[in-house]
């Protein structure tokens, strides 16, 4: 069904694997189009609560935009491709369901940008992040200038963007770019463990929490708190809230129905 992606469901968790290992999973135009398609499928599939994205092979998560394609671009097609990729990455960030990047190797350029569009990043000890576009005479074009500077200290973000230096897994953990670092062979299991833990909660609360926290990127504290109060009200109106609180009082595990 997909030429450059693998897609599977395990219970309520979807796994998307970018599958061009011979090109270190570089994002060509066709792969960007397929990402748009797969995340539309994930959004509309009610059985999927959480998604994980990773890269095929031992070496790379995604080594960036496809430099062979980039080399042929002009001012007009370059801007159009940047806008197209930004839209797809925004679609991932605004999916409404949590997306975890399981960064198994190089996450460079568009690969680092893809990981940053996800809500949570976990990495293998072999992972290497970076925005090396400056080495090619360009700047990040899939949201990296904005997301890196918001995710970590802006001065550090600028240093990485201006030097193109790579960030190893230990440093990525120190600067808050990733939440956890695992041995390479543990990464997928750990990502699923995290995804399943989130999937076991009431999904109304999960989605309202995601929406409220993401709003911090665009709103003031006071606007954000208004949204928090409104979505808190939505949660209070849910059957899951009754079930969660009753289960606590009855000293049993809740059985959420996501209603």
What whole-number distance in Å separates Cα of residue 211 and Cα of residue 145?
22
* Least spacing, CB of residue 42 vs ligand CO8, in Å: 23
From 7, 11, 23, 201, residue interacting with ligand CO8 (rule: CB under 6 A): 23
Mask 54-73, x = binds ligand CO8 (CB under 6 A)?
---------xxxxxx-x---
Reading the block at residue 40, the tokens are: 């539309």
* Least spacing, CB of residue 85 vs ligand CO8, in Å: 5
- Catalytic option among 69, 133, 183, 223: 133
Could you give the 3-state DSSP secondary structure of residue 153? coil
Please report where in the chains the tokens 């839209």 appear, as a residue: 87
* 113 catalytically annotated: yes
* Least spacing, CB of residue 116 vs ligand CO8, in Å: 12
* Cβ-based neighbours of 36, under 8 Å, separated by 6 or more: 87, 88, 91
Cα–Cα distances in Å, from 182 out to 111, 122, 162?
Answer: 19, 8, 29
Cα–Cα distances in Å, from 177 out to 10, 29, 47, 134?
Answer: 27, 26, 29, 20
Residues 207-246 within binding reach of ligand CO8 (CB under 6 A): none
Closer residue to ligand CO8 in complex, CB, 107/210: 107
* 133 catalytically annotated: yes
The residues annotated as belonging to the active site are: 113, 133
- Contact residues for ligand CO8 (CB under 6 A)? 23-24, 26, 63-68, 70, 78, 81-82, 85, 106, 108-110, 132-133, 136, 140-142
């Amino acid at each position: 069904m997909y030429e450059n992606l693998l897609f599977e469901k395990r219970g309520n968790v979807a796994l998307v694997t970018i599958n061009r290992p011979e090109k270190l999973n570089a994002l060509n135009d066709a792969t960007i189009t397929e990402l748009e398609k797969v995340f539309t499928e994930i959004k509309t599939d009610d059985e999927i609560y959480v998604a994980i994205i990773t890269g095929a092979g031992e070496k790379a998560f995604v080594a960036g935009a496809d430099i062979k394609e980039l080399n042929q671009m002009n001012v007009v097609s370059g801007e159009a491709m940047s806008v197209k990729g930004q839209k797809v990455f925004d679609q991932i960030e605004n999916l409404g369901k949590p997306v975890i990047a399981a960064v198994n190797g190089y996450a460079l350029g568009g690969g680092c940008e893809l990981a940053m569009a996800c809500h949570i990043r976990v990495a293998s000890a072999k992972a290497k992040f970076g925005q090396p576009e400056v080495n090619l005479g360009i700047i990040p074009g899939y949201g990296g200038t904005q997301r890196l500077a918001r995710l970590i200290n802006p001065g550090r973000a600028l240093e990485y963007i201006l030097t193109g230096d790579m960030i190893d897994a230990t440093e990525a953990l120190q600067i808050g770019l990733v939440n956890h670092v695992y041995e390479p062979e543990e990464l997928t299991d750990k990502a699923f463990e995290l995804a399943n833990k989130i999937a076991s909660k009431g999904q109304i609360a999960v989605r309202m929490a995601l929406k409220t926290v993401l709003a911090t990127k665009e709103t003031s504290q006071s606007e954000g708190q208004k949204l928090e109060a409104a979505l808190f009200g939505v949660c209070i109106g849910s059957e899951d809230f009754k079930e969660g609180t009753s289960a606590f009082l009855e000293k049993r595990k809740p059985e959420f129905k996501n209603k």
